[in-house]
Structure 1
Amino acid sequence: MLNLPQRLATLPRDARDTLFLLAVIAWVTLPHVSHLPWWVSLLVAVVLGWRARLAVQAAPLPARTWLVVLVGVSLFATWATHRTLLGRDAGVTLIVCLLALKTLELRAKRDAFVIFFLGFFTMLTNFFFSQSLAVAAAMLLGLLGLLTALVNAHMPVGRPPLAQAARTAGWMTLLGAPVMAVLFVLFPRFAPLWGIPSDAMSGRSGLSAQMRVGSMAELVLDESVALRVRFEGTPPAQSDLYFRGPVFADFDGREWRPLVRLAGRFPPMRLGDPQLVPLGAPVRYEVTLEPNNRPWLLTLDAAPRAPQVPGMDTVMTSDLQWLVSQPVVDLVRYTAESHVLFRHGPARRSLVLPEYTQLPAGYNPRTLALAAKLREENPGASPATLVQAAVRLLRTGGYRYTLAPGVYGEHTADEFWFDVKEGFCEHIASAFVVLMRALDIPARVVTGYQGGQVNPVDGYWVVRQSDAHAWTEVWLEGRGWVRMDPTAVVAPARTGSFQRLVVPQGVIGTAMQRVSPDLWAAMRAGWDAMNNGWNQWVLNYTQSRQLDMLRNLGFRSPSWEDLSRVLLAVVVLVALAGALWSWWDRLQHDPWLRLLGRARKRLRRAGVEVGNTAPPRAIAEVVTRRFGAEGGTLAQWLLKLEAQRYARTPEVSLSALRREFHQIAWPPRCEAP
């Protein structure tokens, strides 16, 4: 019984080529599985499987009625899913469906060409959803597959091996790579290059504009990168790496939201004077922020000066959060300067908004009773003393930091302090702020990222979604807002070292960690460094970097006109280089054949016609018959030319024959060359 490779080898060429094209289509559409509706993947799998079966069995293709019905079903399902036939998601859905359905009418070469170009377009649509290095590598392989199929379709009849078409496709790709590189560097760039702002970031995980108790534990299961940081000089201690995000002070018993929302040019946030006083030496660093569809700039707590973001306006809220004028839908790189030691906020209680002490009525009665008990145990104590009393309770009360604390009910603070006694960072922070407010101490919740891990390959600090964190700030007389991280009290290793809660790994990751933890860590660091290089040099090659390149080339105030001139100059130089290469290539043709051709040309001028394929011996015989003794010298030269080519040890070199060619006494009827 034949195995699969043997069966494929016995198939006719059209069946083999069809199966190869179907495999390439499946590869190109595979990344869309996680982005498009489930029925699209099912439709593509069924149609491609159906078409493969028809190819193997040499069965006739379905009638056109089937195609009309399937196209109608695809249109209806697209409308039912997206409520439109326009836009990114609906458009990509239709393109993928039409590409699969087109294979059911693959009868002629014209149909194949339509499939090829639909495949190229579908390949590009993958970048609407992700521009990662993995997707780019997969699409490069898909490009080679489509080019191989296209080359194979132009090859003559017979059964040429696919490897031959693949080599030609690879050579074409290499020849096109320099052109692609020049266009990438010099062609004017428009942002966003991939994606549509209205829906480009749907489904992207990250920090939220509100904090529901228990939601951040789900975020920590995401190991994707949130931002990368490169410090100038020695980085701060691990316990000082707090990257500030949204600040919440409005609590409804279950969910935290920003305190005040104001409409304006910038997103609805409370703007005002943060009263920030930097202390100590500044820390300078560069941040590469992943797209998050939010107008937030993550900076090390706290940044008194605006981060330098090319092409964007920035503003600081009264809660020390930096915002930009539009959501971050592309990779953004910016420089910032922060002070890990700082003081901010009003110095007098009368200037603190009363909302920072408000609690919803009817929630967490036992926490209110706990606050009353702490006051009784510490009569006349200052707010700072009461804060320390709450910290001692956290440290000695048997509380535990965990990723899976279970489901909290209506009174989240009560359940943490008295029942569950374990939780993730937002459970602990929320319960602590509720207790502080019950003690009449202004408090709020701050979210962001804490910590990170340095990549030994490229030196960047990688902050992942799994580093998402929530901490608190309390207001103390004469000190302003003071950071209090109750999670660090319960689990000091969370912020004091690289220790984190273990995120469940996949089967491969778990196996690799068990077999060789060091190898797994090295592989992960290397892959992350490659992704970072892709982000820095490809995705983050923006308009400003193009102009910086021109500035490095000597342009004082580079503009788009200068960029156009440079691009035009490069095109002209490339064209001249191509012409020179073509001229050189002509000179490199067989010099022996070129010399023989010159002899034929002279003989034609003398009225002697010889065939273009006649060898030197045959031409010598024609010369002897035509000119007799007068053509003897020329005949002998032709015989020596033949010997120079085919004799094992030629007596005369080709250069000597070339000199003799000009010294021959041509017959009288020959004209001058």
Structure 2
Amino acid sequence: MNLAGRLARLPREARDTLFLLAVVACCIAPLAAHIPPWASAMAATLLAWRGWLAGSGRPLPARWIMAVLLVLAVLLTLVSHRTIVGRDAGVTLIVMLLALKTLELRARRDAMVVFFLGFFTLLANFFFSQSLPTAAAMLVALLGLLTALVNAHMPVGRPPLALAMRTAGRMALLGAPIMVLLFVLFPRMAPLWGMPADKPGARSGLSGQMRIGSMASLVLDDSVALRVRFDTPGGEPPPPGQLYFRGPVLTAFDGRDWFALSQPEAQAITWARPSPAQLRVQGPPLRYELTLEPHQRPWLLTLDAAKAAPALPPGQWAQMSPELQWNASRPVTGVLRYRAESHLRFTHGPLRRTPEMRAYVQLPAGLNPRTLALARQMQADRQLAGGGTQALVDAALQRLRSGGYHYTLDPGVYGDEHTADEFWFDRKEGFCEHIASAFVVLMRAMDVPARIVTGYQGGELNAIDGYWTVRQSDAHAWTEVWMEGRGWVRVDPTGAVSPGRIGQLQRLQARRGVFGTAVGAVVSPMLLQDLRAVWEAVNNGWNQWVLNYTQGRQLDLLRSLGLQSPGWQDLVRLMGLLVCAAAVIGLGWALWERRRQDPWQRLLQQARQRLARAGLPLPPHLPPRSMAAQARARLGPSAEDAAQWLLRLEQARYAPRPAAALPRLRRELARLRWPAAQSRGTDTP
């Protein structure tokens, strides 16, 4: 016998319990990545145990066993989180309580507790992710919980789950307009909106520290880092060579790792503080809207260079660092949308050399001796010495162009000390951080202030929604060199090795595995690319219209309705008016429907619904006499009063004055003792 046949032959209590356990598993499963492994394993074991008890008809565990399991769950939560307060610890406890409560399903009140714990667990998923897949999964779990809840209110007989599911779906559809209304108008006031994480973990490919060889692995991460929409005709971006989204600036170097001056590790390497940004811009600004994915850092990515602070949502503010990097007042823990404007023609930094510049020429002692010798050789060249810093930079770039150097994802493992020597003289190949690091070391060896800038370079247009998508695989490292009278000047040595990387946005592709090769042989790469574009456009729409529906957009809605200076009080008034209007419309529709429908047919429909709740669903075409016969045959003597009432209803239909008997029949229907009212002693979940 197949699985469907076995489920059909189970007693109703076992069937309903197994269905409820499946719904509970759907609510808990997405949380497995955010709770301790022991919690996931324990919850799965408890649910499987409860399912085995239901399927085999065995009794539930004793109270003392439940008490021991509860104490064990609390102790393990304390060990894992050092507390039982907070988001992570609280969610772990909720999952454990929900799983344990399924072992106490003895009466309907226990089922109700499971339902409400299930709803809370469902909402807890949004503490960790508010993405579109999470919302879709929770919608399925919500319909499952509603189905189980409706089914629990059909205690007699064996109503099919499909009937409860249809009722639950109809309830969800009727509640959808109210949900949309509350979403649009309910005031978004702190601290209701935005729950900070207890232990934020960085997701971004960028960091305040860069190890030589670490960025090459980011090309394997094709996830979205940010999306940009430019305020230009057709949404066209600037030339590809100017698509530099500025991130952390790295100055201190220990031979293997680069650090930002704000990092504690940098304090042991250099003593200087960065000089002020001193940004000077030319020409009109380029305006754009940027949607930044959460990366648990305060960094705000902007095109080089943004003079004015990005326009953040209410309650947040931004500040520029001395290295020309914008930082938010708090880490970016959710999808963040902001507007910014950048000047693509700019200069920054001091025009004359200052004592703070010593931090940008420091190198670890005793490392990269061949690079230092090359620097002395270049400085001794009279032709180069006469051309100043620009000539030295051009000579280094020419060496990269003509010296047999290669841009690659797999340059091999560099050593821990002489990384610049290995690049310039041995391997002659590397990814962007190898090239940038070796270039800065060479510049500093010639007493030229230089530093590394990390961020993203390039992007691709999604033709579906018109947004430019920048991925983690677009992470890039370039350099800035200080020149007398000009300040800091961007120099991207990767462009000298691989001009297509910067000018034509050509990316290195990682080698495909066996599975990727097989999929590429069966499915067209263009089809996969189109499907990805559609999915990312849909996901971006979710980010723009749902996750980023902020208080500012609410107030913009009120302004479009004619209010001059709207506030949250106006939102409450408008929401109240719309709710009252909806109630009046619903009342009017009910009255109209009541008058439109045949009163005799309405009484017959009410009787059919009562019989369905009693465990006797009947097709709508049966007349009252046939319904009475079915009730007597299947419900026994307890349905005699209902059968007699159905016969009187049929008699009234054919009486000389049928309307005169309907009020009496309506009163009898209200007082009638139906079989469902006599059989409510059975408690099933």
Please classify the TM superposition score into its range, dividing by the shorter chain length: 0.7 to 0.9
In structure 2, C-alpha distance between the alignment counterparts of 1:12 and 1:32, rounded to whole Å: 31
Q: 1:425 aligns with which of 427, 432, 450?
A: 432
- Per the alignment, residue 331 of structure 2 pairs with 327
- Per the alignment, residue 668 of structure 1 pairs with none
In structure 2, C-alpha distance between the alignment counterparts of 1:568 and 1:640, rounded to whole Å: 41
Q: Structure 1: where are the runs of 5+ without partners? A: 263-268, 597-609, 622-634, 643-673
| Change over 3 Å in CA distance of 1:493–1:612 after alignment to 2 | same
| Change over 3 Å in CA distance of 1:405–1:594 after alignment to 2 | closer
1:308-367 Cα deviation digits (max 9, x unpaired): 223232222232212222222232222212122222222223476221111122322222
| Change over 3 Å in CA distance of 1:224–1:194 after alignment to 2 | farther
User: Partner of 1:478: helix, strand, or coil?
Assistant: coil
Retained in 2: the 8 A contact 1:473–1:484?
A: yes
Structure 1 residue 555: deviation in Å? 0.3
- Per the alignment, residue 265 of structure 1 pairs with none
- Per the alignment, residue 577 of structure 2 pairs with 569
- Per the alignment, residue 497 of structure 1 pairs with 504
- Per the alignment, residue 322 of structure 2 pairs with 318
Q: Comparing 84-93 with 313-322, which one deviates more in the overlay? A: 313-322
1:113-192 aligned at under 5 Å gives the runs: 113-191=112-190
User: 1:413 is matched by which residue type in structure 2?
Assistant: A
| Change over 3 Å in CA distance of 1:415–1:199 after alignment to 2 | farther
Retained in 1: the 8 A contact 2:600–2:653?
A: no
- Per the alignment, residue 376 of structure 2 pairs with 372
Retained in 2: the 8 A contact 1:512–1:520?
A: no
In structure 2, C-alpha distance between the alignment counterparts of 1:590 and 1:456, rounded to whole Å: 55
In structure 1, C-alpha distance between the alignment counterparts of 2:454 and 2:462, rounded to whole Å: 24
Say whether residues 1:435 and 2:442 are aligned partners.
yes
In structure 1, C-alpha distance between the alignment counterparts of 2:573 and 2:104, rounded to whole Å: 47
Retained in 1: the 8 A contact 2:283–2:343?
A: yes
Retained in 1: the 8 A contact 2:202–2:296?
A: no
- Per the alignment, residue 495 of structure 2 pairs with 488
- Per the alignment, residue 259 of structure 1 pairs with 261
Structure 1 residue 125: deviation in Å? 0.7
User: Partner of 2:228: helix, strand, or coil?
Assistant: strand
1:172-198 Cα deviation digits (max 9, x unpaired): 100110111111011111357565325
Identity %: 61
Q: 2:279 aligns with which of 273, 276, 279?
A: 276
- Per the alignment, residue 402 of structure 1 pairs with 408
Say whether residues 1:8 and 2:7 are aligned partners.
yes
Q: 1:524 aligns with which of 511, 532, 542?
A: 532
Q: Structure 2: where are the runs of 5+ without partners? A: 265-271, 605-643, 662-685
Say whether residues 1:588 and 2:596 are aligned partners.
yes
In structure 1, C-alpha distance between the alignment counterparts of 2:4 and 2:223, rounded to whole Å: 39
1:545-589 Cα deviation digits (max 9, x unpaired): 111111111000001221121112112112212221222122123
In structure 2, C-alpha distance between the alignment counterparts of 1:291 and 1:200, rounded to whole Å: 14
Q: Comparing 612-621 with 87-96, which one deviates more in the overlay? A: 612-621
In structure 1, C-alpha distance between the alignment counterparts of 2:250 and 2:603, rounded to whole Å: 87
1:76-102 Cα deviation digits (max 9, x unpaired): 222222222211111111111221222
- Per the alignment, residue 68 of structure 2 pairs with 69
Retained in 2: the 8 A contact 1:127–1:195?
A: no
Q: 2:390 aligns with which of 380, 384, 389?
A: 384
Retained in 2: the 8 A contact 1:415–1:421?
A: yes
Say whether residues 1:353 and 2:357 are aligned partners.
yes
In structure 2, C-alpha distance between the alignment counterparts of 1:594 and 1:520, rounded to whole Å: 54
1:276-329 Cα deviation digits (max 9, x unpaired): 232344321111112222222111111122222232322222322122222222
User: Partner of 1:349: helix, strand, or coil?
Assistant: coil
Structure 1 residue 620: deviation in Å? 9.2
Structure 1 residue 150: deviation in Å? 0.9
In structure 1, C-alpha distance between the alignment counterparts of 2:474 and 2:650, rounded to whole Å: 81
- Per the alignment, residue 300 of structure 1 pairs with 303
| Change over 3 Å in CA distance of 1:378–1:502 after alignment to 2 | farther
Structure 1 residue 261: deviation in Å? 7.5
In structure 2, C-alpha distance between the alignment counterparts of 1:353 and 1:385, rounded to whole Å: 20
Retained in 1: the 8 A contact 2:275–2:356?
A: no
In structure 1, C-alpha distance between the alignment counterparts of 2:167 and 2:98, rounded to whole Å: 25
User: 2:581 is matched by which residue type in structure 1?
Assistant: L
Structure 1 residue 44: deviation in Å? 2.0
Q: Comparing 88-97 with 170-179, which one deviates more in the overlay? A: 88-97
Q: 1:459 aligns with which of 460, 466, 483?
A: 466
User: 2:338 is matched by which residue type in structure 1?
Assistant: Y
1:620-631 aligned at under 5 Å gives the runs: none
In structure 1, C-alpha distance between the alignment counterparts of 2:169 and 2:459, rounded to whole Å: 41
1:9-48 aligned at under 5 Å gives the runs: 9-48=8-47
| Change over 3 Å in CA distance of 1:620–1:120 after alignment to 2 | closer
1:571-610 Cα deviation digits (max 9, x unpaired): 21122122212221221230567999xxxxxxxxxxxxx9
In structure 1, C-alpha distance between the alignment counterparts of 2:645 and 2:543, rounded to whole Å: 62
In structure 1, C-alpha distance between the alignment counterparts of 2:495 and 2:67, rounded to whole Å: 63
Retained in 2: the 8 A contact 1:271–1:317?
A: no
Retained in 2: the 8 A contact 1:127–1:194?
A: no
In structure 1, C-alpha distance between the alignment counterparts of 2:502 and 2:547, rounded to whole Å: 32
Retained in 1: the 8 A contact 2:46–2:100?
A: yes
In structure 1, C-alpha distance between the alignment counterparts of 2:512 and 2:149, rounded to whole Å: 41
Q: Comparing 210-219 with 540-549, which one deviates more in the overlay? A: 210-219
1:45-64 aligned at under 5 Å gives the runs: 45-64=44-63
| Bigger relative CO (Cα 8 Å, ≥ 6 apart) | 2
In structure 2, C-alpha distance between the alignment counterparts of 1:615 and 1:152, rounded to whole Å: 30
User: 1:15 is matched by which residue type in structure 2?
Assistant: A
Calculate the aligned-residue CA RMSD, in Å: 2.9
In structure 1, C-alpha distance between the alignment counterparts of 2:391 and 2:35, rounded to whole Å: 56
Q: 1:341 aligns with which of 310, 327, 345?
A: 345
Retained in 2: the 8 A contact 1:200–1:329?
A: no
In structure 1, C-alpha distance between the alignment counterparts of 2:28 and 2:603, rounded to whole Å: 56
In structure 2, C-alpha distance between the alignment counterparts of 1:244 and 1:164, rounded to whole Å: 57
- Per the alignment, residue 248 of structure 2 pairs with 246
Retained in 2: the 8 A contact 1:128–1:194?
A: no
Structure 1 residue 619: deviation in Å? 9.7
In structure 2, C-alpha distance between the alignment counterparts of 1:47 and 1:171, rounded to whole Å: 32
| Change over 3 Å in CA distance of 1:567–1:194 after alignment to 2 | closer
User: Partner of 1:326: helix, strand, or coil?
Assistant: coil
User: Partner of 1:342: helix, strand, or coil?
Assistant: strand
User: 1:493 is matched by which residue type in structure 2?
Assistant: G
Retained in 2: the 8 A contact 1:346–1:352?
A: no
Residue-pair matches, total: 607
In structure 1, C-alpha distance between the alignment counterparts of 2:390 and 2:647, rounded to whole Å: 104
Structure 1 residue 169: deviation in Å? 0.7
